[in-house]
Structures are given as C-alpha cells and as structure tokens.
C-alpha cells in the first residue's frame, strides 16, 4: 500500500527547522520558527516554570486521566488571564474552557466543533495569516476565505480594505482575528479599530474567533487583551484559542486552551457538551504536565510575579532588538520599505514582516544559510547581538 505514496511538501515553518538542522554551515541562523531566544541564542526554561515543576514533583497526587476538558483550575486561571480576575465571565458559567494540546490543538478542536455543528459556515482568515491556519481548518472540513489585512506599501494595517473584504461575511460565518502580535505581520488594530471590526462582525451575524497566542508580547498581559475585551463588549458569543507556548516558554509541553463565551450558561453548557464529543474522538483528554505548571504558577502570587518579570524581560529584549535591527539596516543604507525601516519598531510581538521577496528569502537561505519564512517573516526574537551584523550584511547583499 505504501508504494504509491508520494512525499508531502515540507511544512512552511517547521520544515525550515528541519532544513536548518541539516545545514552544515557553522554560521547558519534560524529566524523562521516563532521561538524566543535569549542574548546567548538559547531558548530558556523560565525559572517560574522550573519552580512549579519542582513543586509538582512533590505534590502531584496522581497520574490518572484528567477530564475531557482538562483541569478546572487551569480553566479558571485561563479565564482570569483572558477576561481579568474581576470579570463575571470567569465564574458565571457563560464561558467554558477546554485545556487543549497547544494553540494548534485548540484551533483544531474549534474547527471540529464548527464543522460538526454549524453546517455551511465559512471561516475567514486574514491575508496573510499563520500558514498552519489554512491546513488546520481544511483538515477539519471547513471552507475558508481570506480578508485583506496588510498594506505592503507601508507594512501597516490596511483597515479600509480589511473592512471592505469583511463586508462579504455571511450570517453564521466565523471570522478569525489575531488577538495581538498578528502572525506573521506583527501589525495589530488600534482599540478603535477593534471596536469597528467587532461591530461589523456582530452586524453580519458572524462569530469572532480570537487566536490569542502571544498575550504579553506586545505591551503586557493586561494591555494585550484590549482587543479581546473590545470584542467581548460588543459580541456576546466568542471563541478564543489561547496558547502558553510563548508566554510561559512551554513550547514542547503543548499547553493551550479553547474558551467559548456564550450568551448564557445553558447555551455554554450545550456547546461544551458538543466540544467534549469532538475532543473524545480526537485525543480523549489533554496531557497534564504543562497545564498543571501554568495552573500552579498562576495560583501562587510570588510565582506569578516571577513569571510576569520573566515575560517582561523577553518582551523588552525583543523590542530592543527591533531598534537594533532598524539601526543596523539604516547604517548599511538598506531600506526595506519606501517609508524607511521604522515599521520594524512599530510592529508587535516576535515577528516582523520584512517586505523581503520570495527570491530574496531564497537567496538568504541558499547563499547565507539564514532561514526566514517564505512570506518574508523574520523572527526578531531569534536575533542576538552575535548574529545581528551577519544577518544585516546578508540582507544588504540580497537586496542590492
């Protein structure tokens, strides 16, 4: 049976990590996958995480199964972070949370729920979006459409084109919005724009799905939830797929969540029961370790403070590196955009959409062993003082 199987195309992002590992060039640089690195180029385990793991080793009472929706304490901690501790939504039953294997798992569970329960739904994705969004929802059986997002002449949000494209959304459709630190562009709407987008989605009778994988990487944990809160103020039904891969550095532990906000607790319970069937068919119940680490950190005030300070350090390093990258390009006379390189400092989160063309990206890889995503997305969180000059010299060479 396997004789007729042809090789699949490598993944647009993780495939580059495989190619990077196979590259023999000792000076190779991987700025493709969205993983944070410190000044030394290492992806650290956060001290708060290590402390929580030590605590778990002594205190985890069992390795028996979690419920289909995961640990209730983790669900509550997730809602605290999303909505704010004082929000009614944390405990009033209108919002239910599923612990899921990573943000990807949460998105796939959401896709399965939508495909099984909302016949005829089209899912709208920004153009561009995270490459895996298309595959996840296609695999779930949901048709997708794209809405305009980026003005590539200025590398800023093309709000008029975005809202014009979203005017074609039909009742019952789902509009996926990146909660902050848009992947791949780093370009986020203002709060006023969020309000206008939420109003448009509500007026269309559509459901917003917020992909919230980078909370804390733009301005701070609370500030980064402003877009989500603007949507919640306007829409009474929302899906949220969140992830702790980046903000807790728990990448390989696969820690994410799907949170459903419904108009009332009984509707939330009905949706919850449908999602339980989707999870049971897929992976039965989620893995415990990483989620219990997050739950413990968020239930302990001093560990929470430690985590917030480590998150601030990561965010500050990335933002400092945005300035260094802009200056290093300026000093070589490289201008990635007609309006200059200032956009690099205005974008949020790990990524900058550089404006480099596919050919230039291919040359960076072939001639300089520098790996960035084909769309021109650079992981700023992977740039260090020791690879910055080599990166900028290579960019100067490929744009010349």
Could you give the residue numbers annotated as active site?
130, 211, 246
Nearer to ligand LMR, 183 or 259 (CB): 183
Q: In sequence order, what E strands does the chain have?
A: 29-30, 95-100, 123-127, 144-148, 150-151, 156-157, 174-178, 207-212, 238-243, 256-261, 351-353, 370-371, 377-379
Quote the least distance from Cβ 134 to ligand LMR, whole Å. Answer: 12
How far apart are CB 356 and ligand LMR at their closest, in Å? Answer: 16
Rule CB under 6 A: say whether 179 interacts with ligand LMR. no
Total residues at interface with ligand LMR (CB under 6 A) = 6
**Closer Cβ to ligand LMR, 89 or 314, answer by number:** 314
132 binds ligand LMR per the rule CB under 6 A: yes
Nearer to ligand LMR, 279 or 373 (CB): 373
Instruction: Calculate the CA dihedral of residues 91, 95, 99, 102 and round it to 10 degrees.
Output: -130
256 binds ligand LMR (CB under 6 A): no
CB of 245 to ligand LMR, least distance (A): 7
Between CA 331 and CA 341 the distance in angstroms is 11
- Cβ atoms of 49 and 293 closer than 8 Å: yes
- In the numeric block, which tokens belong to residue 270? 């009905």
| Tokens 């990335």 belong to residue | 318
- State yes or no: residue 371 binds ligand LMR (CB under 6 A): no
Task: Kindly tell me which residue out of 13, 125, 221, 262 binds ligand LMR, with binding defined by CB under 6 A.
Answer: 13
Judged by beta carbon, residue 180 or residue 262, the one nearer ligand LMR is 180
Closest CA to 193 of 278, 154, 182: 182
- Cα separation, 77 vs 248, in Å, equals 14
Please tell me whether residue 17 binds ligand LMR under the rule CB under 6 A. no
Q: Is there binding between residue 187 and ligand LMR (CB under 6 A)? A: no
Is 130 near ligand LMR (CB under 6 A)? yes
Sign of the CA dihedral running 18, 21, 27, 31 = positive
Q: By CB under 6 A, is residue 183 in contact with ligand LMR?
A: yes
Q: Closer to ligand LMR at the Cβ: 74 or 130?
A: 130
Instruction: Decide: 41 and 384 in contact? Cβ < 8 Å.
Output: yes
CB of 184 to ligand LMR, least distance (A): 7
Question: Is 33 an interacting residue with respect to ligand LMR (CB under 6 A)?
Answer: yes
Is 365 exposed, middle or buried (CB count within 10 Å of its CB: 0-12, 13-18, 19+)?
buried
Cα–Cα nearest to 222, from 88, 84, 314: 84
- How far apart are CB 391 and ligand LMR at their closest, in Å? 17
Residues that bind ligand LMR (CB under 6 A): 13, 33-34, 130, 132, 183
């Amino acid at each position: 049976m396997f004789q007729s199987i042809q090789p699949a195309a490598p993944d647009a992002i993780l495939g580059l990590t495989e190619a990077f590992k196979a590259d023999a060039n000792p000076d190779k640089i991987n700025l493709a996958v969205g993983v944070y690195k410190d000044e030394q180029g290492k992806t650290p385990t956060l001290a708060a995480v290590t402390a929580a793991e030590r605590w778990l080793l002594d205190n985890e009472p069992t390795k028996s199964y979690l419920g289909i929706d995961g640990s209730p304490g983790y669900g509550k901690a997730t809602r605290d972070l999303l909505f704010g501790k004082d929000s009614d939504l944390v405990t009033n039953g209108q919002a239910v949370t599923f612990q899921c294997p990573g943000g990807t798992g949460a998105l796939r569970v959401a896709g399965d729920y939508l495909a099984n329960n909302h016949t005829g739904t089209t899912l709208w994705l920004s153009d561009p979006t995270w490459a895996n969004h298309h595959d996840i929802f296609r695999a779930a059986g949901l048709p997708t459409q794209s809405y305009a997002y980026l003005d590539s002449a200025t590398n800023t949000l093309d709000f008029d084109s975005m809202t014009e494209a979203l005017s074609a959304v039909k009742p019952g459709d789902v509009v996926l919005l990146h909660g902050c630190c848009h992947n791949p562009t780093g370009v986020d709407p203002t709060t006023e724009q969020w309000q206008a987008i939420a109003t448009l989605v509500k007026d269309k009778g559509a459901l917003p799905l917020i992909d919230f994988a980078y909370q804390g990487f733009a301005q701070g944990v609370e500030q980064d939830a402003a877009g989500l809160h603007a949507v919640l103020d306007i829409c009474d039904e929302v899906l949220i797929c969140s992830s702790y891969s980046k903000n807790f550095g728990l990448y390989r532990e696969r820690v994410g969540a799907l949170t459903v906000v419904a108009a009332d607790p009984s509707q939330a319970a009905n949706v919850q029961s449908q999602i339980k069937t989707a999870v049971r068919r897929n992976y039965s119940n989620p893995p415990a370790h990483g989620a219990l680490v997050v739950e413990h950190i968020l239930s302990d005030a001093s560990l929470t403070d430690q985590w917030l300070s480590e998150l601030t350090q990561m965010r500050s390093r990335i933002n400092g590196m945005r300035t260094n990258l802009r200056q290093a390009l300026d000093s070589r006379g490289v201008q990635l955009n007609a309006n200059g390189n200032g956009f690099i400092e205005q974008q949020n989160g790990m990524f900058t959409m550089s404006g480099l063309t596919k050919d230039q990206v291919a040359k960076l890889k072939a001639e300089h062993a520098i790996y960035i995503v084909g769309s021109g997305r650079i992981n700023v969180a992977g740039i260090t003082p020791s690879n910055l000059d080599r990166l900028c010299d290579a960019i100067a060479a490929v744009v010349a």
